[in-house]
A and B are shown apart, each in its own frame.
Chain A
């Protein structure tokens, strides 16, 4: 009922590293520092570690489910809960991936409007980015993997410019090291987890990995690398800004790009935001690919048509969201959805799968 993909459509296990990492680094990293600092002050770097650790645990859970089901989430749902209930949950997953792409796209366009082109209306950028994503997703999963891999390669040089703010660093900002209550840290961890969302796409592309179980370690490496990037970013931001100043800075990382002073470039943030597009693009592409693939598995519709439907939806919903408040509401809603999915739904699914497999065998 749910056939596995052909061998020539698959990618090597180590690409899971890039896929997971690409999904976790998105728009959030441009301004996550303020959010966690509001909860736990400058001790919130611990929250990055704790929430990262919890994600590693959840990836372990995911691989247990996937290795046993040996297919994507749609097939696993159908196995466990039957055609209708399972299909309903799979449909929700599909919508969730779509919402993920929507949030990333809309937030990036917002950054563009605020920082680069205040006078250009958003639908132009939305349209172009959707067009580009469409041209990638129609290439299939291998092309989507390619863009996440190349996107990370292009994005990496941006880490080098973190050196510039360090010249004005005040390392005393970090002291005292532990200056937050467990409750505060928990709240910060919860907020930090939102940035790590996106690894759930694993549930959709797992069958496309050659020798899926082998890719598990690469998934861990991907998360570890994300944790490293977030820690580095937080560290540079914390030593540059003082706490009060940071609380008033929405896009701390973007602001830090202003400090960069190259011989031939005065204002680096324009280059930074342009290059950042290659980090955003994989998020939208993987999101759209997963959503359209889910729809294709559930309904008698080709993946191309499913993709077209989602692209249209993406366009109209994006231009309906006009102000900051609406984008914020959407962001919050999607993150809540993601949070409950990974922390409650996934462990439940593991248990349920275990029980039902036992019963079926018996």
Chain B
């Protein structure tokens, strides 16, 4: 029975691979071995003079103990000369006899031992013995949270699926795998919960993944950029996260997750702009606190984007707007400055960017030094030298701080980037310039979509039901429905139990 199954599998796979075969047809097994032998880590030998079996493998990706303990002894004992008998004898599952050379090659290159019998040109026994280097599951570093699980994804896709599946032990959690990249042959898995996720979304993702023509997929961010709806946009259109708990929760909301082998970041979508400002820790805190934190983050975004450009606009054009009592400190701090506000602002903004970039590239321990040098030494020195004003230094530092409150790293970068156009328009047309720039970005955001779903939802199109978990987070018993954004066929998440609020007197 098992044999037939594997035959059926082989048949299916053959069909899939027909395309490949047409391009490089008629590869013989000896040619393949000849090619492999060019690498020094390829091992190929005959077991013994008397034995008919040849053994081939890449020693760098094979767990050598499997060969020693479970394969070689049985070759020794086995008196029969056929691969089939050997397959029966070896106490390892997942062995296959394959007669397709292309398939043999793929298996060989992904960590299998290939055993060939003397005289047979096309058939070989393939024994899986992969040995992959992977690091253990560690703490989340990009999306750290004070409370909640401390597990983060690692570079192995199997370990990552394991982390998700143990949180969602249901057969409806489907993993669909595709191989992408003509050189890297990266395994890319699409995870979703059948029945909860909209089929159209799944098809969109699978379609886009299958359409990818690229030689190397090294990280999930490659996929993120390639399959995004709007390639010209600086805004990320899928959330990347390193938290398995976030992925599990997002999946049960009816969204889709993409995992890429070799990447410790999962992609989830379809998503909205406001979702980029929700940290997963929000769900671990009480809803009042979580809502306030979200509003603080939203304020931080606006502050980060607008504060320096407003400073430039007001000081360049609309100084009448400054109230009398604020005039004194402003004049005192700006009186000796030799530059116009725009130059002052750009210099400081660039300094902050410089510090951030240097801090990100340097090892952690030196990175801290950079923070101290930048924050204290350069800042104080710049003010004392009379190159920048105290007020602007405070504003720029706060704006930089505010931009780091965004929980998703990619969005934080975007926010820091878009304040430069604001600065320039503020210099050109003052407050109006800021408005113009803002409305241009708004037009861009209105046109954007994530997997074909509107990006600005639930604000526009207005979905009051989705507002429950967007700009603020209402308590769990009010979150009985899945967001409209994902178009889940089953909108109800759970049936809320009627709270029996019978009139109980104080001391009853």
- Using a CB–CB distance below 8 Å, which chain A residues touch chain B? 11-12, 112, 116-117, 120, 124-125, 128-129, 132, 135-136, 139, 142-143, 146-147, 149-150, 262-267, 270-271, 273-275, 277-278, 281
Instruction: For B434, list chain A residues within 8 Å (CB).
Output: 274
Q: How far is the CB of B270 from chain A (nearest CB, A)?
A: 15
The smallest beta-carbon distance between A27 and chain B, in angstroms, is 15
16 A-B pairs with CB atoms under 8 Å apart are: A112-B432, A124-B429, A128-B429, A135-B444, A139-B447, A146-B456, A146-B460, A147-B442, A147-B443, A149-B460, A149-B462, A150-B442, A265-B323, A274-B432, A278-B435, A281-B439
Task: State A263–B440 Cα separation when bound (angstroms).
Answer: 30
Residue of B nearest to A278 (CB): B439
Once the chains bind, are A139 and B323 in contact (CB under 8 Å)? no
Q: Which residues of B contact A (CB under 8 A)?
A: 317-318, 320-324, 326, 429-432, 434-436, 439-440, 442-444, 446-447, 456, 459-462
Say yes or no: A274 contacts B323, CB within 8 Å.
no
B432 proximity list for chain A (CB < 8 A):
112, 116-117, 125, 273-274, 277
B435 touches A275 (CB 8 A): yes
Complex Cα distance, B443 from A277, in Å, reads 14
B447: A residues at CB distance < 8 A = 139, 143
Bound: A102/B435 CA distance, A: 20
Q: Is the CB of A270 within 8 A of B318?
A: yes
- Which chain B residues border A135 with CB–CB below 8 Å? 440, 443-444
Complex contacts, B444 vs chain A, CB 8 Å: 135
> A265 and B321: CB pair below 8 A?
yes
**Main SS at interface, chain B:** helix
List 19 additional A-B contacts (Cβ < 8 Å) besides A128-B429, A132-B443, A278-B439: A11-B461, A12-B461, A116-B317, A117-B430, A125-B432, A128-B436, A136-B446, A146-B446, A146-B456, A147-B439, A150-B446, A266-B320, A266-B321, A270-B430, A271-B321, A273-B432, A277-B435, A277-B436, A281-B439
Q: A135-B440, A277-B432 are in contact. Are A147 and B321 (CB under 8 A)?
A: no
Most interface-central of B317, B430, B436 (chain A CB within 10 A): B436
| Residues in B whose Cβ lies below 8 Å from that of A128 | 429, 436
User: Shortest Cβ distance from A283 into chain B, in angstroms?
Assistant: 13
Task: Give bound CA distance, A281 to B435, whole Å.
Answer: 11
- Asked whether B321 lies within 8 Å of A267 as measured between CB atoms, the reply is yes
The answer to whether A150 and B460 touch (CB under 8 A), given A139-B446, A266-B321, A275-B435, is yes
Cα A125 to Cα B433 with chains together (Å): 10
A266, B324: Cβ atoms closer than 8 Å:
yes
C-alpha gap A136/B456 in the complex (Å)? 15
Separation of A11 and B459 alpha carbons in the complex (Å): 14
Which A residues touch B429, using CB under 8 A? 117, 120, 124-125, 128
Residue in B324, B432, B436 whose Cβ sees the most chain A Cβ within 10 Å: B432
What residue in chain B is nearest A261 (Cβ atoms)?
A: B323
**In the assembled complex, which residues on chain A have CB atoms less than 8 Å from the CB atom of B460?**
146, 149-150
Q: In the bound complex, how far is the Cα of B324 from the Cα of A263, in angstroms?
A: 10
Indicate the member of B318, B429, B444, B460 with the most A CB atoms within 10 Å.
Answer: B460
Shortest distance between the CB of B181 and any CB in chain A (Å): 33
* Chain B residues with CB below 8 A from A136, complex form: 443, 446
Chain A residues whose C-beta falls within 8 Å of the C-beta of B322 in the assembled complex: 266
B285 to chain A, nearest CB (A): 28
